[in-house]
Amino acid sequence: MMPLKTQAIMSRVVKAVTDRFLRHVTWHTSASINLARSPGDHYPLVVILGREHYSERSKSYPALQRRDLQKVLDGELAGGPPTLVLLDPVKGDQRQVRFYTLQPDVVESLPRSLFIVPESVLLGMQLPAESWAEVQRQNYRYYLFAGGSSQPAGGALENRELVAMAAGLDPGQEPEEWHGSELLQRRLRQALPALPALTWWSCRNRARRGFGIDGIAWKP
């Protein structure tokens, strides 16, 4: 077992590295928020994209080899708007694929970054299985489900029982209430280090705007 003094040192090192990393993470909603809330101009390596800036859908595909499935997806998305594609694990002979389509011109309005991660993907990691949450900040509200799927509130979706039934949940099950930017920022900071490597790869920024690692204005 690691000595207590060594554990304390390692804990401080991990915290320092995490804090340094979060300086380069921007949460882009109606405004851009630095997750570390650190003063100064820190180039964003990661942009967490607010739910209001994209639509999402999912579709089942045969359990093809990943390379073959990618060819199918590339063909389907060719010529369309910028879309992030996340592949869920194979279940039986099917694989669920999630599509996050960015709103027109949103990419051009974002700071250049290595990764663009949908907000609901990160927050969904904070929900236990078979649970859901009502997420609200400023004047925007949506429903979030374990695994990262989400649905903006409004219209028929004002009725929580109908929302729960549509998601295959117990209609009597009340959602957790995640209200306020401060709470959501804490949850985003907690979720980001646990994001799987494959999801990072899927969320890499493919926008061609003269971007490259050599072009980053690095600041500690």
Give the chain's radius of gyration (CA, Å). Answer: 19
The residue type found at 138 is Q
| C-alpha count within 13 angstroms, C-beta hemisphere, residue 57 | 5
> Do residues 148 and 98 touch, judged by C-beta distance below 8 A?
yes
Count of Cβ atoms closer than 10 Å to residue 108 Cβ: 9
Give CA separation, 106 vs 94, 109, 152, 188, 207, in Å: 32, 5, 18, 21, 11
The residue type found at 121 is V
Q: Counting beta carbons within 10 angstroms of the beta carbon of residue 37, is it exposed (0 to 12), middle (13 to 18) or buried (19 or more)?
A: exposed
How do the domains of the chain map onto residue ranges?
Answer: 23-205
> Minimal CA–CA distance to 136: which of 116, 146, 121, 150?
150
- What is the pTM for the complete model shown? 0.83
Tens-binned pLDDT, residue by residue, of the chain (220 aa): 556 666 566 566 556 666 777 888 999 998 888 887 655 566 788 999 999 999 999 999 998 788 899 899 999 999 888 999 999 888 888 999 999 999 988 878 887 889 999 999 999 999 998 899 999 998 899 999 988 899 998 776 677 888 888 888 888 889 999 999 999 999 999 999 899 999 999 999 876 544 443 333 434 4
